[in-house]
Structure formats: structure tokens, C-alpha cells
Amino acid sequence: MKLYSLSVLYKGEPKAVLLKAAYDVSSFSFFQRSSVQEFMTFTSQLIVERSAKGSRASVKEQEYLCHVYVRNDSLAGVVIADSEYPSRVAFTLLEKVLDEFSKQVDRIEWPVGSPATIHYTALDGHLSRYQNPREADPMTKVQAELDETKIILHNTMESLLERGEKLDDLVSKSEVLGTQSKAFYKTVSTGAGCSGHR
């Protein structure tokens, strides 16, 4: 079981703004790490942009699951984990992080913030503490609430896109992804799909 990234975003119109993120890309080869990290940012932004306010969803992509929670106030969180990681714990983590973030970071900063300007330092700690869901489980006080909440499950990233939209086109137009990452995407998407790297 593994958590790869934890990020806080603001769901702006039309773009999602990355406010803060933590990554664990140690399981990827050294040369893939920066591209993998850029893809996690790209994926997190795309999922938040395509999710409605007040919704929770899980998006399956190959052996990964991306869990997203967009609050009604446009603050959003995304956890990218492997498919074995329990989604209940992922959503508990998102709830906790967004609650904490909204208390520590002034709402005025959300629409204009960036990882460099937002002062919130807890993400790395949460990412490493929640690597073991059993350790984190005593913290699941919102579990009962979550069980009653409908979590939408999308089977692929493609299912989030609008009719006629292609993931390849979004990748090539992306400002988040560098040239190297776009080339990396092309090599893996022709072979094993967007995230078929190990």
C-alpha cells in the first residue's frame, strides 16, 4: 500500500490552482521522478477541474487510484495512491488536511496562491504518517460521515473528460508539464497507458 501524492488546490474558473503538494516518488526510477511528479500535479488539477463542488470521487487509472474531495467553498484535495490503499482512509486524510489548511491559510490567498507563497507545512508529515493506513486509522473520526457520503467512482481518467476531448490533447496543451514529461507520456501511453510506469 502506498501514497504517492497529497495536494491542496483551489477550484477556480476555469482552472484549478495548486496551492501546496507533497510527493513520495521514491519507488520510481531516478530519471522518471520529475516527470512522474509533474504528472501527479497535472492529474490532480484535471480531476479538480472536472469535479463538482461538494463532491467526493475516486478515479482509477491503471494500478492507481486518485481520490478527490472538492468542498463547497472551492478548496479541494487530491490523494494519489495505489489501488490497494483503502479509500476511506484517503478521504479521512483529505477531510483532515482541508480542515486544517482552511484554518491556517487565509481564504483571500486561495485563488491567487501557489506552493511558493502558501505557508502550510503539514503535508509532508501527513503523507508519511498515512503511508500505513492502520497507523492512521485511530484518526478516522469522520468515518461515519464518510460512509454515508456518496463517493463517485470513475473507471478511467478518460471518463472524466467531455465528449470529444482527448487526454493526449490535454497533455500536449498543458502548461504544468515540461517537454521531457510530455515525451515521457507519449512513450508510456503508446505502450502501457498514461501511468504504466513501475
Give the cell for residue 45: 488539477
Q: Which domain holds residue 67?
A: 3-187
- Digit-by-digit pLDDT tens for the chain (198 residues) are 999 999 999 999 889 999 999 999 999 999 999 999 999 999 999 999 999 999 999 999 888 999 999 999 999 999 999 999 988 899 999 999 999 999 999 999 999 999 999 999 999 999 999 998 877 765 554 454 555 456 677 777 777 777 778 888 888 888 888 888 878 777 776 654 444 443
Is 83 inside a domain boundary? yes
Is 198 inside a domain boundary? no
Is 193 inside a domain boundary? no
Q: Output Rg (C-alpha) for the chain, integer angstroms.
A: 16
Is 196 inside a domain boundary? no
Q: How far apart are CA 63 and CA 26, in angstroms?
A: 17
Is 195 inside a domain boundary? no
CATH number, domain of 45, equals: 3.30.450.50
Give the cell for residue 168: 493526449
Is 98 inside a domain boundary? yes
Is 192 inside a domain boundary? no
**Reduced to 3 DSSP states, what percent helix, strand and coil does the chain have, rounded to the nearest 5?**
40, 20, 35
Indicate whether this model's pTM tops 0.95.
no
Beta strands 16-23; 55-61: pairing state: unpaired
- What total number of domains does the chain contain? 1
